[in-house]
């Protein structure tokens, strides 16, 4: 009871502080409730998350959870996505509770001082390793401070408590790995192999709400969300965009945009005929949206190009080319294609893995390689 009272006082104090920063109590508590929902928890768990974040923020004496963010082969769009969420957002407050010890794009130190930050974090161990971009495996392609990116990943992965690959380049190679893939880029899980568990947060770029919720899960709740067969959290990638699309009623009614920019686009008609890959793309985009849930690709009138899906972009039709194999209401005829792909994407579980289990897997490899735990 005494602990509960102290925690509530701590939360009260934190809520007062964030109001000064322009985030109302209501916004923050609503955000925590929504994050609990995103993680598949009950609404009451939102209060637990809020209390834990407040306690983390208040605990200035303790070291904040360390995050090392590596930038590999990408356009740094995921860092941009994170930074350009409106300021100050509730998501940023969560990110404030961590210590971003290394991120080349935004950190103040450079050169040897930056390298020292990375090495210090590596030696301390137990950090959350976030990787943006694929890893070029061809020798001499993709170097930082004179080291191949492969060597940097080899150094940083074994001592991490958990590893998150953000954006389609880090998850499965993305645009930099497109055929003919001259620098032989691989996704982070593919490169590290089965000794490591990588949480794949797909999309180009990563959605900051999905990232913040995953950080809450890993750091605050100490749990890796249940993953599908591609290492993506099921809570974010368990359903197709088509399942939850706001234009779906028009699809079912046979109302389609025939040419991008026609009057039916503004009426909210379905974008399937102008290339929408929503029927084969598993992602929560219609719910999380972008720019603090203002809008999203399909909502803004652009067909989904499938950036959250394994195999994107090589295995997808052109951005505006019609997806084969979708049964169109009133026209009929199911071909192999989207339905077949959808079946192939049936989920497998790696769920409920505690963070310490990830660390155990990681340290196993570290020991075999003679590295530190």
Which residues of this chain interact with ligand SF4, rule CB under 6 A? 203, 241-242, 245, 247-248, 251, 270-272, 276, 278-279, 281, 283, 285, 296-298, 304-308
Q: Does residue 289 contact residue 299 with C-beta atoms inside 8 Å?
A: yes
Strand 223-224 and strand 185-186: pairing? unpaired
Residue number with CB closer to ligand SF4 (181 or 244): 244
Question: Cα(241)–Cα(170) distance, rounded to whole angstroms?
Answer: 22
In terms of CB distance, is 118 or 282 closer to ligand SF4?
A: 282
Nearest approach, Cβ of 287 to ligand SF4 (angstroms)?
A: 11
Contact between 289 and 296 under an 8 Å Cβ cutoff? The reply is: yes
> Rounded to the nearest whole angstrom, what is the least distance from the CB of residue 59 to ligand SF4 in the complex?
35
Q: How far is the CB of 360 from ligand SF4 (least distance, A)?
A: 33
Shortest separation between residue 243's beta carbon and ligand SF4, angstroms:
8
Dihedral pair phi/psi, residue 321, rounded to 5°: -90, 140
Provide the minimum distance between the beta carbon of 297 and ligand SF4 in the complex, in angstroms, as a whole number. Answer: 3
Shortest CB 334 distance to ligand SF4, Å? 15
- Between helix 149-156 and helix 111-124 the angle, nearest 10°, is 30
CB of 298 to ligand SF4, least distance (A): 5
Cβ closest to ligand SF4, residue 118 vs residue 310: 310
Q: Are strands 99-103 and 66-71 parallel, antiparallel or unpaired?
A: parallel
Spatial neighbors of 252 by CB under 8 A, at least 6 apart, are: 329
Q: Which is nearer to ligand SF4, 142 or 275 (CB)?
A: 275
User: By CB neighbour count within 10 A (0-12 exposed, 13-18 middle, 19+ buried), where does 111 fall?
Assistant: exposed
Count of beta carbons in the 10 Å neighbourhood of residue 269: 23
Rounded to whole angstroms, the Cα distance separating 233 from 344 reads 17
Q: Name the residue with the smallest CB distance to ligand SF4.
A: 278
Instruction: Indicate the residue among 49 and 271 with the shorter CB distance to ligand SF4.
Output: 271
- Residue 204 has what DSSP assignment? T
Least Cα distance to 167 among 142, 202, 117, 193 occurs for 202
Residue with tokens 């959870």: 65
Q: In what order do the strands lie in the sheet with 198-201?
A: 99-103, 66-71, 127-132, 160-166, 198-201
Is the Cβ of residue 71 or residue 81 nearer to ligand SF4 in the bound state?
81
Specify the residue, 326 or 355, whose C-beta has the smaller distance to ligand SF4.
Answer: 326
Q: How far apart are CA 72 and CA 137, in angstroms?
A: 11
The kind and range of the H/E element at 356 are helix 355-368
Rounded Cα gap, residues 257 and 272, in angstroms: 8
How far apart are CB 158 and ligand SF4 at their closest, in Å? 32
| Residue nearer to ligand SF4 on the CB measure, 9 or 314 | 314
Q: For ligand SF4, which is the closer residue by CB, 247 or 310?
A: 247
């Amino acid at each position: 009871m005494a602990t509960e009272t102290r925690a509530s006082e701590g939360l009260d104090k934190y809520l007062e502080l964030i109001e000064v920063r322009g985030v109302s109590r209501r916004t923050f508590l609503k955000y925590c409730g929504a994050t609990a929902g995103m993680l598949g928890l009950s609404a009451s768990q939102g209060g637990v998350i809020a209390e834990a974040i407040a306690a983390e923020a208040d605990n200035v004496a303790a070291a904040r959870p360390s995050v090392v963010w590596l930038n590999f082969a990408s356009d740094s769009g995921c860092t941009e996505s994170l930074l350009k969420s409106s300021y100050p957002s509730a998501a940023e407050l969560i990110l404030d509770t961590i210590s971003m010890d290394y991120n080349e794009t935004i950190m103040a130190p450079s050169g040897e001082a930056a390298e020292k930050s990375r090495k210090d974090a590596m030696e301390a161990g137990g950090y959350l390793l976030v990787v943006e971009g694929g890893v070029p495996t061809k020798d001499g392609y993709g170097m930082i401070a004179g080291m191949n990116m492969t060597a940097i990943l080899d150094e940083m992965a074994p001592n991490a408590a958990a590893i998150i690959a953000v954006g389609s380049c880090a998850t499965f190679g993305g645009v930099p790995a497109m055929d003919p893939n001259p620098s032989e880029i691989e996704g982070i899980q593919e490169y590290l192999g089965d000794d490591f568990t990588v949480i794949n947060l797909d999309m180009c770029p990563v959605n900051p709400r999905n990232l913040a919720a995953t950080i809450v899960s890993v750091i605050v709740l100490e749990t890796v969300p249940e993953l599908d067969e591609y290492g993506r959290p099921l809570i974010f990638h368990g359903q197709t965009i088509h399942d939850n699309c706001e234009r779906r009623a028009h699809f079912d009614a046979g109302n389609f945009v025939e040419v991008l920019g026609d009057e039916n686009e503004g009426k909210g008609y379905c974008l399937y005929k102008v290339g929408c890959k929503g029927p084969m793309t598993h992602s929560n985009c219609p719910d999380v949206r972008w720019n603090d849930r203002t809008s999203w690709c399909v909502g803004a009138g652009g067909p989904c190009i499938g950036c959250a899906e394994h195999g994107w972009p090589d295995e997808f039709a052109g951005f505006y080319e019609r997806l084969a194999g979708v049964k169109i209401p009133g026209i009929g005829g199911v071909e192999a294609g989207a339905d077949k792909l959808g079946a192939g994407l049936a989920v497998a579980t790696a769920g409920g893995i505690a963070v310490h289990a990830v660390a155990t897997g990681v340290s196993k490899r570290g020991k075999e390689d003679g590295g530190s735990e």
